[in-house]
Amino acid sequence: MLEDSLFVPNDTWLDNDENRVSIITGPNMAGKSTYMRQVALISLMAQAGSFVPAEYAKIGLVDRIFTRIGASDDLASGQSTFMVEMTEVANILENATEKSLLILDEIGRGTSTYDGLSIAWAVIEYINDKSRLGARTLFATHYHELTELEERLHGIKNYCVSVKKKGEDIIFLRKITRGGADKSYGVEVAGLAGIPAQVIERAKMILKELDEADINQAHKKKRQKPVEGQLDLFTSSSLSKAEREVLDELKMLDPSLLTPLDALNKLYSLQQKLK
């Protein structure tokens, strides 16, 4: 379709064991959505018995393909972009099976950063859990914190779309590689889109200030000590027997295995112990 650029082929490894969920990071315009659509289309063609555009393909049965790509609202029924997104995600989690293919693009972007990150994190945990779903999934995101899940949960792998920095510009290489992206290059992409240079320079200054503020806040938290007479929750010698038991229970809990009702009951039980 693009006359001024060549197609870049990429491999895809998905299964119901070690490669259930692929978390894909990288800047906008780098090719994350195109790559995921490509996998969905090839899977659909294979289910129909068609040849597929690949040097080699081993594609298992796919009962349904679920996608959540793009932003849209439904003003006629009073639903915001975020509400439409959450409704679609709810439908996917309710109806997908372990044989389904899920294509999810930037879940949680329509609300505050922490709310969106929390929702995206919980959705990935739910999808990856074989006792709940365990579906093969491509999950594109700008929340770099989600790349931590590879170290925490079996079945999750990190991938990123390669880019090359050339002075103040970036070149999209369109190649999917292992690992997480270090940044989203949002300011650089805004410059490519034609945002005035004065706005871009000011955005870079603000971004630098915010990054420095985050670093300083992290150092401050590390240095922070409990004020005199304040209970330090992580010093076992200052805790009563009941408090130590509650802390031990909290450490052993796996929130991903609890239903909302189980979590509420557990919270009530721990609170009673402290009383």
- pLDDT tens column, 110-168: 788 889 999 999 999 999 999 999 999 999 999 999 999 999 999 999 999 998 887 77
Rounded Cα distance between 68 and 88, Å, is 7
Q: Is the pLDDT of residue 231 over 50?
A: no
Percentage of residues of the chain with pLDDT beyond 70? 87
pLDDT of 78: 65
Rounded Cα distance between 237 and 48, Å, is 65
Rounded Cα distance between 67 and 76, Å, is 23
**pLDDT one-digit tens code per residue, 175-201:** 999 999 877 888 888 888 899 999 999
Q: Is the pLDDT of residue 216 over 70?
A: no
**């009962």: which residue's tokens?**
63
Q: What is the pTM of this model?
A: 0.74
Question: Helix 113-128 to helix 81-95 angle, to the nearest 10 degrees?
Answer: 10
pLDDT of 223: 55
**pLDDT one-digit tens code per residue, 236-252:** 455 777 787 888 788 77
Asked if residues 13 and 177 have their Cβ atoms less than 8 Å apart, the reply is no
3 state DSSP class of 177: strand
pLDDT of 131: 94
pLDDT of 71: 63
Which residues is 23 bridged to in the sheet?
139, 158
Q: Is the pLDDT of residue 225 over 60?
A: no
pLDDT band for 233, please (50, 70, 90 cuts).
very low
Q: Is the pLDDT of residue 91 over 80?
A: yes
Q: How many CA atoms lie within 13 A of 34 on its CB side?
A: 16
Rounded Cα distance between 266 and 246, Å, is 10
Mean pLDDT of the chain: 85
Q: Is the pLDDT of residue 44 over 90?
A: yes
**pLDDT one-digit tens code per residue, 75-84:** 566 677 888 8
More confident residue, 64 or 111: 64
- Chain mean position to CA 62: 23
How far apart, in Å, do the first and last CA atoms of the chain sit? 67
Query: What domains, with CATH codes, occur in the chain?
Result: 21-184 (3.40.50.300), 236-253+260-274 (no CATH)
pLDDT of 266: 80
pLDDT-wise least confident of 95-99, 139-143, 259-263: 259-263
pLDDT band for 46, please (50, 70, 90 cuts).
very high
**pLDDT one-digit tens code per residue, 200-215:** 999 999 998 888 877 6
Q: Is the pLDDT of residue 230 over 50?
A: no
